[in-house]
Amino acid sequence: MTAAVYDVVVVGAGPVGENVADRVVQGGLTAAVVERELVGGECSYWACMPTKALLRDAAALRAARSLPGARAAVTGELDPAAVLRRRDEFAARWDDGGQVAWLERAGIALVRGTGRIAGARTVEVTGADGSAATLEARHAVVVATGSSARLPEIPGLADVAPWTSREAAAAPAVPARLAIVGGGVVGAEMATAYAALGAQVTLVARDGLLPAVEPFASDLVARSLKAAGVVQHLRTEPVRAHRDAQGVVRLVLADGSAVEADEVLVATGRRPRTDDLGLDRFGLAPGDWLRVDDSLRVLGPDGAPVGDGWLYAAGDVNRRALLTHQGKYQARAVGDTIVARARGAAVDLSPWGRHAATADLRAVPQVVFTDPEVATVGHTSASAAAAGLRVRTVEHDLGSVAGAALHADGYTGRAAMVVDEDRQVLVGFTAVGPDVGELLHAATVAVAGEVPLDRLWHAVPAYPTVSEVWLRLLEAYGRDAVPVVAGAA
């Protein structure tokens, strides 16, 4: 069989794979992507876009009801059917024709099927009809296969046909009762969405609600979910599951209590899609996360790049940051790196060089679209301490900021910044409150740019906006952050 030859072969055509291919094509190389499902991947059809569409209508309604004049104009309730129809539109009705057309316009070849690395720079593709094709890469193969939901080994759970994040994002109807196992981002967001859509939601979270964020943020979200009628079983977990003849799912919990629901969503983590990629021929275990260096070359068991460095991994599959925007950031870095190496140009792997994905370790932003939103970047107080940094954390009541009071009556929220005391730079930021996601990029710039506090004093927030919280945080930090001018009175 004659192999088709490209400069770069990408396995996986989600947002990460698409961006890798686009970047190398813009750099003058040829590229092909291999995809066994829908072009556009998890984010387009079962994650970012449809889930945020599920959440947006309720958020807009809450915003209107927080202002007296707008509240008087709201005469009806949320229409779940209309929400689901809009969700379907954002998921392109699970048709990837638009994404395929984009690949064609970008000059990227698409090969449908399951890709498997058969040797150095060689990918074999098996189509759904059993057809076979061989692709050879002159310069690099990039694994961008992403991750899938991980189901815990709970007796009976697999037999109740549980939802994963995919089924939750694409459900054709709202169940009367929904049990959610897992209190991370997916669990918290889907509890918010389905409670607003009219389901009776019960959340079971062994590690608590949003355990990776600052406690004040998770506490505020927990209070809001309770007010929305979400029953929370925290610090416990299911020990067995059963669906009866009437279709009712019963979860028995470790604390002796039980939960009954019509559907159960399991949101307890992710696993890499590396099971059948052929990685065992390079000493890597199928089903494991791929370890990479800062240029995203896959490292073998000996810690050295596989082969001569032709194999890369970007996105969820390398476990650096399981977020679409970070995966696309990695895609830009790896694409530029492959082009540079192909042309024999210098590769900048300095701490903030364009070919190094160091933001994955220092400045990862994330918004949790609960009610209220949680926006974070960089370290929390706990993670900074665990990293051995000498830090100081200061907090401020967002509701006391003039812009927040204008934004909504009874605005409730809080913000905190984590300061590296040795370098006097911001290393973390968290905010919780309505629409705080729009505050996040300023914090990301400050963390990624390592802006000294004495410079942040000169970044004056406009009045009256919620961003005035930056001034209040600096004031709370204290006079030591104020630059001293020689000879000043």
What DSSP character marks residue 316?
A: G
List helix spans (H) across 283-439. Answer: 324-342, 359-362, 381-386, 402-407
Instruction: With beta carbons less than 8 A apart as the criterion, state whether 330 and 336 touch.
Output: no
Mean pLDDT of the region 437-441:
96
pLDDT at 479: 55
User: May I ask the CATH architecture of the domain 372-481?
Assistant: 2-Layer Sandwich (3.30)
Strand partners, 130: none
Residue 1, pLDDT above cutoff 80 = no
Q: Residues of 156-174 as b/e, b for ≥16 C-beta within 10 angstroms?
A: bbeebebbbbebbbbbeeb
The per-residue DSSP string of 385-410 comes to: HHTT--EEEEEEEGGGSHHHHHHSTT
Distance between CA atoms of residues 487 and 227, nearest Å: 56
pLDDT at 198: 97
The conformational region for residue 43 under phi > 0 = left, psi -120 to 50 = alpha, else beta, is alpha
- The contacts of residue 178 (CB under 8 Å, 6+ apart) are 190, 194, 199, 200, 201, 202, 261, 262, 263, 264, 265
When the pLDDT of each residue in the chain is averaged and rounded to a whole number, the result is: 95
Q: How confident is the model at residue 40 (pLDDT cuts 50, 70, 90)?
A: very high
pLDDT at 353: 86
pTM of the model: 0.94
Strand partners, 312: 142, 297
- The residue with greater pLDDT, 478 or 92, is 92
Q: Could you identify the residue written with the tokens 């070919």?
A: 355
Give tens-digit pLDDT for 421-436: 999 999 999 999 999 9
Task: Give the tokens for residue 463.
Answer: 């009045």
Q: If you count them, how many residues does the chain have?
A: 489
Give tens-digit pLDDT for 236-282: 999 999 999 999 999 999 999 999 999 999 999 999 999 999 999 99
Instruction: With beta carbons less than 8 A apart as the criterion, state whether 295 and 333 touch.
Output: yes
Mean pLDDT of the region 31-48:
97
Using a pLDDT cut of 90, give the percent of the chain over it: 94
Distance between CA atoms of residues 132 and 126, nearest Å: 5
Q: Could you tell me whether strands 249-253 and 238-243 are parallel, antiparallel, or unpaired per DSSP bridges?
A: antiparallel
Largest CA distance in the chain: 83
pLDDT at 487: 41
SS3 percent helix, strand, coil of the chain, rounded to 5, is 35, 25, 40
Which among 281, 309, 272, 271 is positioned nearest to 293, based on CA atoms?
309
Residue 480, pLDDT above cutoff 60 = no
The residue type at 479: R
Instruction: With beta carbons less than 8 A apart as the criterion, state whether 139 and 123 touch.
Output: no
147: number of Cβ within 10 Å: 18
- The residue with greater pLDDT, 482 or 184, is 184
Give tens-digit pLDDT for 128-147: 999 999 999 999 999 999 99
Instruction: With beta carbons less than 8 A apart as the criterion, state whether 22 and 15 touch.
Output: no
- Class assignment of domain 4-40+96-148+271-359? alpha beta
The CATH fold of domain 158-268: FAD/NAD(P)-binding domain (3.50.50)
3-state DSSP assignment of residue 355: coil
The residue type at 232: Q
Distance between CA atoms of residues 23 and 29, nearest Å: 9
pLDDT at 349: 87
CA 44 to chain centre: 13
Residue 118, pLDDT above cutoff 50 = yes
Asked if the domains 4-40+96-148+271-359 and 158-268 are classified in one and the same CATH topology, the answer is yes
All structural domains of the chain with their residue ranges? 4-40+96-148+271-359, 158-268, 372-481
Which among 457, 470, 411, 463 is positioned nearest to 435, based on CA atoms?
411
Task: Give the tokens for residue 280.
Answer: 């065992």
Gyration radius of the chain's alpha carbons: 24
Residue 230, pLDDT above cutoff 60 = yes
3-state DSSP assignment of residue 475: helix
Distance between CA atoms of residues 37 and 423, nearest Å: 47
Strand partners, 272: 147
Side-chain-side CA neighbours of residue 298 (13 Å): 28
Residue 379, pLDDT above cutoff 70 = yes
Would you call 190 exposed, middle or buried from its count of C-beta atoms within 10 A (0-12, 13-18, 19+)? buried
